[in-house]
Structure 1
């Protein structure tokens, strides 16, 4: 079977959907003949590790309308010169410019839905109408979580429940290499008696780094050796760094900026708990899945997360981590009430690892996705 995978962005660009697109493409190529169509990244070298054909379009100008035309013309050219049985769009938006071509070329269309792209434009009637039409034209929709599926069915009432299949995101476990905790702390300059909290994420308001920072002054009265490490970058970083100085907690909060993938092993291994208090002020922006919580669990670390969106499915509350309403008061209350002894954290971390190893293997994700494609061809 010949599959054309459409991805607006693709590695070397960094991001959750970008990684998903690469994992999907490289996984499916073991079963099918796959090629990828995406856009090139301005001022960025092309990755030299592509394991299948990847065509990257150079945008004429940074206009979504013009890029859509370019994308459509390139798909038309591929369909005219190559037999394509399936087009797999990694978001509904990349399917929008080409779904009408189904009537001419008779391919089957599959679309992945991740989360907020379903609800982000809910106040724009035209965009929502286009989205509903595109999704309805799909042979099968694949959702990364049950929560995202509920949003798809809520906003696309013409869809039948069985038209959306849930296939959770997966992890390349062989790429994650847990390290010794003592040596990891030495490498990162952390004392062995510190209580280390870790967040790895884009720094923006919805990710909740600010909620944790506001709790630090009171937490250090009980845990004077507490250290909060924030890995990543984003538009909210400067504001948070300023707030840390105002609270005079520079000795307890550290911003690392971007960290190479291989170095993340040491950060995960050095921490005691992973904390990402994802908020959901409206359903226009939310955590559709939360793969980072599953990654932390692979290192046998518990997570503290916001009680909303996809993380509710990744974390088994009070067994593999804690789900709370994301605010500083609830975080402080949690630290007062739960057992943070090394023995208890180890026990929960082991449970988190077992859950992740069972549910979120990338090979399981690929096998389920390929089965859905094959059954609905």
Structure 2
């Protein structure tokens, strides 16, 4: 292409003041492509100031209307995220206007084909087969996609990558002062939505078992979600009120302050069900914080045991605690540990990720 075309981003999620962490990866990917000359149009992004199920309905309604109006707009590239529930509305732009199609998979399209999603899967699958380029966040998920739909063009790009201007090594002492936690108290951290599958329950179990041996342990939780009330009740049931610091939803640009306060970041999502990368774990490592996660093919793509974190052999409290104790030794035993941890994920920096993605889109959609 002599000049970059317009990319119409279609996504049901996008960060807002109400939900600052919702769809940050979608915005990061879009911002990254814009840096390389693409004109980003977000008229097909579902945005609203409302929350809950009503807000979700509004987001999808705006998204679908935006997709239908593309037939009246200047031709560009249609870049879709999470197409499961709106695949039907993409076809007019693809069939009538011949928009080149890029689909960024994030896991639910392949992992969660149950209930009503079984009805939409044939349309989603057909859309994937017609795509000029399919984006997978990891090599592990790419293999899953290629097994599911042989012959499609899949490119690996890790969800926009890590913003090196935000996620970088900060003074732990200063960050602890900002957060309000003493420097001499060991802290394990959780950063994710408070929803099923993201691991908040096992995080509380791990903390409960840790403080049975050391009462000074603190669990720092960053995030929010519809299971918040249930989580707060569980904190009370486990008598963890004095050992939990709950920050709630935090703007993306401020998360690094909390990550730099951790002695270990606990990535405890149920990988096999919901995760295709685990970008938040990579962001923590970019801050120089060791990560503890379940030992899977996916986490072994970016966690180097003994250098950047440790892996738990089983999804239970005992295995995670053993890995946490090993991980916390990493920074105690090496003055350069935080730098080494951060450097281990340098290939995930956004500027590099966006450059490679831009080239892949240009190649796949050239002369279309």
What are the residue-to-residue correspondences of 1:19-168 with 2, within 5 Å?
19-29=24-34, 30-43=36-49, 62=58, 70-78=65-73, 82=74, 84-93=75-84, 96-122=88-114, 124-156=117-149, 159-160=150-151, 163-168=153-158
Using the alignment, how far apart are the partners of 1:214 and 1:92 within structure 2?
A: 35
Following TM superposition, by how much is the alpha carbon of 1:303 offset from its aligned partner in structure 2, in angstroms? 0.6
Measured at CA, do residues 250 and 101 of structure 1 come closer, stay the same or move farther in structure 2, by a change above 3 Å?
closer
* Among 277, 284, 289, the residue aligned to 2:277: 289
- For 1:74 and 1:187, the matched residues in 2 are separated by 47
- Aligned length in residues: 351
Post-superposition CA distance 1:315-368 (Å, at most 9, x none): 2233311222221121233346666364237655333211222x1111111111
Shifted more, 360-369 versus 123-132: the winner is 123-132
**What TM-score does the superposition give when structure 2 sets the normalisation length?**
0.84
Q: CA deviation at 1:195?
A: 0.6
1:218-367 paired onto structure 2 within 5 Å:
218-280=209-271, 285-308=273-296, 310-324=298-312, 325-335=314-324, 340=329, 342-344=331-333, 348-357=337-346, 359-367=347-355
Q: Alpha carbon RMSD of aligned pairs, Å?
A: 2.9
> Compared with structure 1, are the counterparts of its residues 150 and 27 closer, same or farther at alpha carbon in structure 2 (3 Å cutoff)?
same
Alpha-carbon distance change, 236 to 309 in structure 1, aligned in 2, over 3 angstroms: farther
In the alignment, structure 2 segments of 5+ residues that lack a partner are none
> Which consecutive unaligned segments of at least 5 residues does structure 1 have?
45-58
1:16 deviation in Å?
Answer: 6.5
Determine the structure 2 residue equivalent to 1:368.
356
In 2 relative to 1, CA 237–110 (structure 1 residues): closer, same or farther, beyond 3 Å? same
Q: Say if 2:259 and 2:284, in contact at 8 Å, map to a contact too.
A: yes
Corresponding residue SS for 2:43: strand
Cα distance change on mapping 1:307 and 1:206 into 2, 3 Å: farther
- The 8 Å contact of residues 11 and 46 in structure 2, kept in 1 or not, is answered as no
- CA, structure 1 residues 289+16, in 2 after alignment: closer, same or farther (shift >3 Å)? farther
- Check 1:176–1:216 CA distance in 2 against 1; reply closer, same or farther (3 A cut): closer
Identify if the C-alpha distance between structure 1 residues 317 and 130 changes in structure 2 by more than 3 Å, giving closer, same or farther: farther
User: Does the Cα contact within 8 Å between 1:290 and 1:314 map onto a contact in 2?
Assistant: no
Alpha-carbon distance between aligned partners in 1 of 2:330 and 2:136, rounded to the nearest angstrom: 37
The structure 1 segments of at least 4 consecutive aligned residues displaced by more than 4 Å after TM superposition are 13-17, 61-64, 66-69, 122-125, 335-339, 345-348
